[in-house]
Amino acid sequence: MKRHDGSVAIARGREAQTLAHLIEAGPAGDTSLGFSRAKWARRTSGYVFDLRKLGFDIQTHMEQVEVDTRVARYVLAVDFDVLESSGVESLGGAS
């Protein structure tokens, strides 16, 4: 992603996998429960935090799933071009 200062944000590792999953999920995004299907996705909120520090606009919406349970739904808020994917799988293997 190209930042306002002209630099390019590069996501690697788990953050890249998280970003790939959010791109795949589209405007509906996915919940932290959806991410848990991936064996690597143990710290979804941490990966999203790291992506935000890189400049990616990711929104968080809280959803009620049971009487006393809420989960976060993460939505990538802007479109951007992926310049290189290096074979990252969204819910696949480890980085």
The per-residue pLDDT for range 27-62, each reduced to its tens digit, is 999 988 788 777 776 789 999 999 999 989 999 999
Distance CA(48)–CA(73), nearest Å, equals: 11
The predicted model gives 61-89 an average pLDDT of: 78
Q: Is 80 left (phi over 0), alpha (psi -120 to 50) or beta?
A: beta
84 vs 76: which has the higher pLDDT: 76
Q: Is residue 3 domain-resident? A: no
- Residue-wise pLDDT for 15-27, tens only, equals 988 998 898 889 9
If one counts the domains in the chain, the total is 1
Tell me the whole-structure pTM to 2 decimals.
0.76
Whether residue 79 is predicted with pLDDT greater than 60 in this model: the reply is yes
Q: Is residue 54 domain-resident? A: yes
Distance CA(29)–CA(58), nearest Å, equals: 9
Q: Is residue 4 domain-resident? A: no
Q: Is residue 83 domain-resident? A: no
Structural domain containing residue 69? 13-76
Whether residue 90 is predicted with pLDDT greater than 60 in this model: the reply is no
pLDDT, position 71: 86
Q: Is residue 45 domain-resident? A: yes
